Amino acid sequence: METLGIHHLGVAVADLDEAIETYRRLFGAELEHRDVVPDQGVEAASLRAGGSRVELLAPTADDSPVGKFLARRGPGMHHVAYEVADIRAALAELAAAGAELTDAEPRQGLFGLQVAFVHPDSVHGVLTEVVSRV
């Protein structure tokens, strides 16, 4: 699979407002988008830091994926997202290469992106997301 680069790093946080303020204060990051996604049990903020992007994820329910992650591991790095030009082609190539896909098909992600996740067992423990803008 060919990537255009890292689209964002996903970070699980307990308090979204506090985390946004931390990234602003420490790294001069600027808020790009902020959204609540009820069916994913998450409130998310996309921040630009120079030419890079950080996605902060706060759970809106304890039994959501991010809520469970926080309960199990505490706040911290959650996933790495790679941007691709064609997400369906990327998923086909990943599957052919033996990667375990959490999402066999692209789905609507945050902020209008098409996304799919690759299981961390296939990427040395790192939950990995592929993202396309279309």
Contact stretch for Co ion (CB under 5 A) within 15-23, 28-36, 96-104, 124-132: 124-132
- Asked if 127 touches Co ion (CB under 5 A), the answer is no
Cα–Cα distance, 29 to 109 (Å, whole number): 22
Cβ(114)–Cβ(103) under 8 Å? no
Nearer to Co ion by C-beta: 78 or 86? 78
**Residues in region 51-110 near Co ion by CB under 5 A:** 55, 81
Please, which residue, 83 or 129, has the CB nearer to Co ion? 129
CA–CA dist 60, 103 (Å, integer): 22
Check residue 43 for interaction with Co ion (CB under 5 A).
no
3-state secondary structure labels for all residues of 46-86? EEEECCEEEEEEEECCCCCHHHHHHHHHCCEEEEEEEECCC
Decide: 52 and 41 in contact? Cβ < 8 Å.
no
CB of 7 to Co ion, least distance (A): 8
For residue 117, the minimal CB distance to Co ion (Å) is 9
Closer Cβ to Co ion, 65 or 86, answer by number: 65
Q: Does 10 bind Co ion (CB under 5 A)?
A: yes
Contacts with Co ion by CB under 5 A lie at: 10, 55, 81, 129
